[in-house]
Structure 1
């Protein structure tokens, strides 16, 4: 069942970042109970490409979760939520800061009820600071953090990566924080708050941009298909007009690339013999490699580089990704049960791979809000069918 078997997680909130953290926990075997409002299900149910009126974002994103409905705006609904939280290890929420407190579900209340509870709070800007109360999306987080600025080409509008990257990064940061907090609980016996912000998660992958500016005043600029002063590491067009990525910026790998090119003298050329000199003459080196690469079809170019232990790869579409022998050999794509789709839906398996306690896809995201109401409320709260029907009639569950 995975390394987190036996841990119970309550997931509140909608859209991507918080639910993504919940999915990662569920992938590793945690019992994740997702609470949705009876009248306002998670909008992710309607995201993704449609086929026959059916979208697939939810199929993968809500996999392995038990879905229940509960109105947290209703006092009786909040009491039921508190009963669920009382027996949980983790609560993941992605509301705007202050929402839980307005509902009487702040950490002061929750920690009194359940001292071991880890509360993961995922928001646009974090729980404190002058922007904390503002709504935040991944697009703004990527822009505000500086992540968007370094993407794209000099002189052009910074493009968006065709994903909600800031959400995924924040979900991963929250997941990492949850695991660390659970480890700390083994020593202290107490839970704590994990505060994950989309902006800060986006900033966390900016490498040395902050110390570079702090110490030298350098503002990293967008550099298109390469990184400035990391050479060679770029896209080169093959004879059949496909893009091939060749990365040989390390001295030893560059020497092997020179051998593959039939130009071993380049490895000792003063313009290119060190990482620094290759950075100084990056444009000239790219031109030399581009001219050489253009002689070969992509398959032949990649084979030649691989035969010389040069780092190389094609720029794949998802259609090519799903046929890549490396991914197929590692079982990267697994089926998700989805009755609405009329059969299994492929998705990426839980990662990373484990030798003894791997994560698994136990079921796809339940299509009907409240799919597990009867199961969860009977199992955890002792609510029978008659009372559950009453709660449903009153719009509480």
Structure 2
């Protein structure tokens, strides 16, 4: 029988961060079953509550799902004491403030580990907790630039571009989550927690393949190449009668099938395209030959042919295509969540899928700042009604 609570059931997470990197790390842990207690500034809340595009601001509904909201002013001694008491009963604490901020508030790792030696502290920042740049302000785009991502994204005749999402923040959050899971395993052996230091630029650097050694060994600097990867052919977006279609056929056997699919089987043995190196050398010419064929057909016709010949390919999806796709539906890649503010909201499910202890969305994002104060501060920390009223009157919660 599947454990509907998720693999991290019984793990308590305190999320202090705001905006993207810290909260996305909390989202990942919450999706896997952890109890996530999000600490928000009183009356102000996380700015993510107002982020998103279009008429409605919906990003909060995704990034704050599976979380409870409490309010605490961490700039006040009373708010700092609340966080210390929460940390004393937690397994993981997440923050993505500028390095030194927690220490300034009396919430540094030395203080928190004295209260709870088993605590795992995930610290996400632009440049990391050490080094000459550590005290600089850093956002996701800065990490993408320093980590090498921005330089190689876009067309070669244009300035460096960016993705339409905050990939640097998401990568740093994902590595922070990965580090927390590793630290949980290490704690089973040592009995001690530790600090997970996830820097935005290093998270980006980690996915940059062999970019650095290519330069260090051979002097090669990767440049922007638009929709292709130089030397990897065919692998591109090709125009059809009614849209664009992605085809990847750079492996020898796959390329031979692609040649048959477009009615030119002789291309597989043509000396210009006979192997990986030759195809890369003649990439532009090969792409034009393929597009000469795709441009005579609709996207649906090209897709049907590629499927028939088992050539990796696909439609370039937007949200409408995702919502209409039967594969998304069959795997529950998208799920409907009933939210207090917007009613039914369809969003991405929890990934990856675990067979025995699957993750999932157990609760919607908290609609109100501090809506769980009574439960967490009363039941977990033992504050009575009079104390809660005093803290609220003082502006601490």
Normalised by the length of structure 2, the TM-score is 0.97
Q: What is the Cα deviation at residue 128 of structure 1?
A: 0.9
Q: Does 1:161 align with 2:182?
A: no
Distance 2:57 2:366 in 1: 12
Contact between 2:232 and 2:279, CA under 8 Å: does it hold in 1?
Answer: yes
Q: What is the Cα deviation at residue 321 of structure 1?
A: 1.6
The aligned counterpart of 1:45 is: 49
Deviation per residue, 1:317-366 (Å, 9 max, x gap): 2111211121111111112222221x111110111112121111112211
Q: What is the Cα deviation at residue 269 of structure 1?
A: 1.4
Compare 195-204 and 332-341 and name the one that shifted more.
332-341
The aligned counterpart of 1:393 is: 393
The aligned counterpart of 1:173 is: 175
After superposition, where does 1:178-217 map in structure 2 within 5 Å?
178-217=180-219
Q: What is the Cα deviation at residue 50 of structure 1?
A: 4.7
Contact between 1:97 and 1:133, CA under 8 Å: does it hold in 2?
Answer: yes
What secondary structure does 2:84 align onto?
Answer: helix
Distance 1:89 1:221 in 2: 43
How many aligned residue pairs are there? 393
Contact between 2:78 and 2:391, CA under 8 Å: does it hold in 1?
Answer: no
Contact between 2:175 and 2:203, CA under 8 Å: does it hold in 1?
Answer: yes
What secondary structure does 1:24 align onto?
Answer: helix
Deviation per residue, 1:102-151 (Å, 9 max, x gap): 11111111111111111100011111111111111111211222101100
Q: Does 1:320 align with 2:321?
A: yes
Distance 2:216 2:161 in 1: 26
The aligned counterpart of 1:22 is: 26
Flag structure 1 segments of 5+ consecutive residues without an equivalent.
none
Contact between 2:43 and 2:369, CA under 8 Å: does it hold in 1?
Answer: no
The aligned counterpart of 2:276 is: 275
Q: What is the Cα deviation at residue 79 of structure 1?
A: 1.6
The aligned counterpart of 2:347 is: 347
Q: Does 1:33 align with 2:37?
A: yes
Q: What is the Cα deviation at residue 268 of structure 1?
A: 1.4
Contact between 2:124 and 2:198, CA under 8 Å: does it hold in 1?
Answer: yes
Q: CA RMSD in A?
A: 1.1
The aligned counterpart of 1:72 is: 74
Q: Which runs of 4+ in 1 moved over 2 A?
A: none
Compare 357-366 and 304-313 and name the one that shifted more.
357-366
What secondary structure does 1:178 align onto?
Answer: helix
Distance 1:339 1:27 in 2: 19
The aligned counterpart of 1:329 is: 330
Q: Does 1:375 align with 2:379?
A: no
What secondary structure does 2:346 align onto?
Answer: strand
Flag structure 2 segments of 5+ consecutive residues without an equivalent.
none
What secondary structure does 2:389 align onto?
Answer: helix
Q: Does 1:289 align with 2:293?
A: no
The aligned counterpart of 1:230 is: 232
Among 236, 241, 246, which residue is 1:239 paired with?
241
Distance 2:12 2:117 in 1: 15
Q: Does 1:261 align with 2:262?
A: yes
Distance 2:142 2:322 in 1: 29
Distance 1:394 1:109 in 2: 24
Q: What is the Cα deviation at residue 385 of structure 1?
A: 2.0
Q: Does 1:10 align with 2:19?
A: no
The aligned counterpart of 1:309 is: 310
Distance 1:64 1:81 in 2: 20
Q: What is the Cα deviation at residue 203 of structure 1?
A: 1.5
Q: Does 1:384 align with 2:388?
A: no
Deviation per residue, 1:165-207 (Å, 9 max, x gap): 1111111110111101111111111111100011111111111
Distance 2:150 2:337 in 1: 33
Distance 1:32 1:205 in 2: 28
Q: What is the Cα deviation at residue 49 of structure 1?
A: 2.7
What secondary structure does 1:59 align onto?
Answer: helix
Distance 1:36 1:68 in 2: 6
Contact between 1:60 and 1:336, CA under 8 Å: does it hold in 2?
Answer: no
Distance 2:53 2:345 in 1: 13
What secondary structure does 1:95 align onto?
Answer: coil
Distance 2:75 2:302 in 1: 61
